[in-house]
A and B are shown apart, each in its own frame.
Chain A
Amino acid sequence: MSNLVDLEQAVEKKVVKMAGYAVAEDKMLLATLGLGSCIGIALYDRYQKIGALGHIMLPENPGGKIITKYADTAIPFLVKKMEELGAKKRRLTAKIVGGSNMFKSENGESVMKIGQRNIEAVKRYLKKENIYLKADDVGRDYGRSMYFYTEDGRVEIKSFKKELIVI
């Protein structure tokens, strides 16, 4: 049993910052911490075991140079990076996490709708690229950390408000 745990911990880990991304072809753990209204997107080719993780902040790019910050420019970019490693676009599936509404006023009203707009934009641009959305854990009002294992494509979600979720 202890071997299993050791193997888990031996996996190499890469942390993706806000507006950043990572691609991996080996058995890696790609993580992004503290997703609020941002969206963590994991793309996976399960035959090649190639994965990409992006941390998207906003729906549409108004001409900014950090293209992985925006859903419309990040998704095609991540696909391209995976293809360069040998992934096939038609095999890609996606899992998305985040898009919450962190702030509430005293009457419980949420004021910033950016989380919801991000969810809709990411879904729209996945559809445009013909990428199947396999699972999600989005919305609500709490922060999430996301751990993506390229070994089998599973995504673990940790938060202060809920038990560990695996999608």
Chain B
Amino acid sequence: MKLNPIRKDMLKEVANIGAGNAATSFSKMIDKEIAMSVPEIELIEMQDLPLITGDEEDYIACVMINFKGEIQGKILIVLEIEAVEKILRYMFFLDSEDELPSEDMQHSALNELSNILSGSYLKAINDFSGLELNQEIPLSAFDMAGAILSSSLIDLSENEDEILLLETEFSLANDKVELFYLFVPEQESLEILFDKLEGGSFV
């Protein structure tokens, strides 16, 4: 697959609009200021996927949300475990010495946060492009990065050896808390997305 610079810029704009809205929701949810990186559009080889956020054997948290509708794909939200703890403390109004909720509760809270982030992201894309998008229930895993990331996108790799990622990082500057947000459209959906954008008011 090849992406020309115009289309790459379009995807960047899509990610920017989606992530901007997600950052606002994130900020409201934990009542903190959220910084957002310039989105990156990356076409990566499948075998490099386990390395996108660090080492294969890092212990991470990941929430996966499938989206369906006029275009299909997946959203992955990836955090280091320390970042999960900090965010949970804000969500539950806990001090650093307070005990964290049970692991089930942690999964549940992180799923809820991810639901809101991806909901805002997809809503912004919908407002901008008119594409009808629905998200499915979030699924989560806390474990080895390589194992989680490779498994998350494996069904997209049946016929493809490369994967297109729209990647944005959110951070809480003073806390060194980072959250990776990956929007992964299926390759067949890309043409539909481009048709819509090129035919619309975007260009």
Measured CA separation A19–B155 after assembly (Å): 14
C-alpha gap A100/B147 in the complex (Å): 9
CA of A62 to CA of B56 in the docked complex: distance in angstroms?
27
Instruction: Give how many A residues have a beta carbon under 8 Å from the other chain's beta carbons.
Output: 34
**Known A36-B147, A62-B159; contact A104-B47, beta-carbon cutoff 8 A:** no
**11 A-B Cβ contacts within 8 A?**
A17-B47, A19-B47, A34-B149, A35-B146, A36-B147, A64-B159, A103-B140, A105-B139, A111-B139, A143-B147, A159-B144
Where the two chains meet, the residues of B that have a C-beta atom closer than 8 Å to any C-beta of A are 46-50, 56-57, 59, 64, 107-108, 111, 137-141, 143-152, 154-155, 157-159, 161
Contact between A103 and B141, CB atoms less than 8 A apart: yes
Binding site for B on A (CB under 8 A): 17-20, 33-38, 57-58, 62, 64-66, 69, 100, 102-106, 111-112, 114-115, 142-145, 159-161
Do B140 and A18 have beta carbons less than 8 Å apart?
no
Checking B47, B48, B107 against A106 with a beta-carbon cut-off of 8 angstroms, the contacting residue is: B107
**Which A residues lie within 8 Å of B144 (CB)?**
33-34, 36, 142-145, 159-160
Asked, given contacts A18-B49, A33-B56, A106-B111, whether A38 binds B154 with beta carbons under 8 Å apart, the answer is yes
User: Are B139 and A104 in contact, with the CB atoms below 8 A?
Assistant: yes
Which residues of chain A are near B143, meaning CB under 8 Å?
Answer: 36, 102, 142-143, 160-161
A19-B47, A102-B148, A104-B140 are contacts. A160–B157 as well, Cβ < 8 Å? no
Q: Contacts A18-B49, A106-B107, A159-B144; is A36 near B157 (CB within 8 Å)?
A: no
Query: Which among A17, A18, A69, A104 is the interface contact of B141 at CB below 8 angstroms?
Result: A104
In-complex Cβ contact of A33 among B57, B137, B155, B161 (8 A): B57
Cβ–Cβ < 8 Å partners of A111 in chain B: 139
Decide: A20 and B161 in contact? CB cutoff 8 A.
no
Residues of B contacting A38 in the complex (Cβ-Cβ under 8 angstroms): 150-151, 154
- Interface of A (DSSP majority class): loop
On chain B, the residues within 8 Å of A100 by CB distance are 147, 151
Specify which chain B residues have a CB less than 8 angstroms from the CB of A161 in the assembled complex.
143
Q: How many angstroms from the CA of A142 to the CA of B147 in the assembled complex? A: 8
Q: Contacts of A19 on B, CB cut-off 8 Å? A: 46-47, 161
Report the minimum CB–CB distance from A58 to chain B (whole Å). Answer: 6
Q: In the complex, which residue of chain B has the Cβ closest to the Cβ of A38?
A: B150
Residue of A36, A104, A142 with most partner-chain B CB within 10 A: A36
Q: Which 6 A-B pairs rank lowest in CB-CB distance, beginning with the nearest?
A: A34-B146, A143-B147, A143-B144, A36-B151, A36-B147, A34-B56
Give the chain B neighbours of A112 by CB distance below 8 A.
151, 154-155
A146–B20 Cα gap in the complex (Å)? 41
Return B113 CB to nearest CB of chain A, in Å: 14
Question: How many angstroms between the C-alpha atoms of A9 and B39 in the bound complex?
Answer: 42
A36-B147, A142-B143, A143-B144 are known contacts. Are A57 and B157 too (CB-CB below 8 A)?
yes
CB-based contact B152/A103 at 8 Å? yes
A36 touches B146 (CB 8 A): yes
* Chain B residues within 8 Å of A37, by CB: 150-151, 154
**Alpha-carbon gap, A57 to B151, bound state (A):** 9
Q: Which residue of A lies closest to B144 (CB)?
A: A143
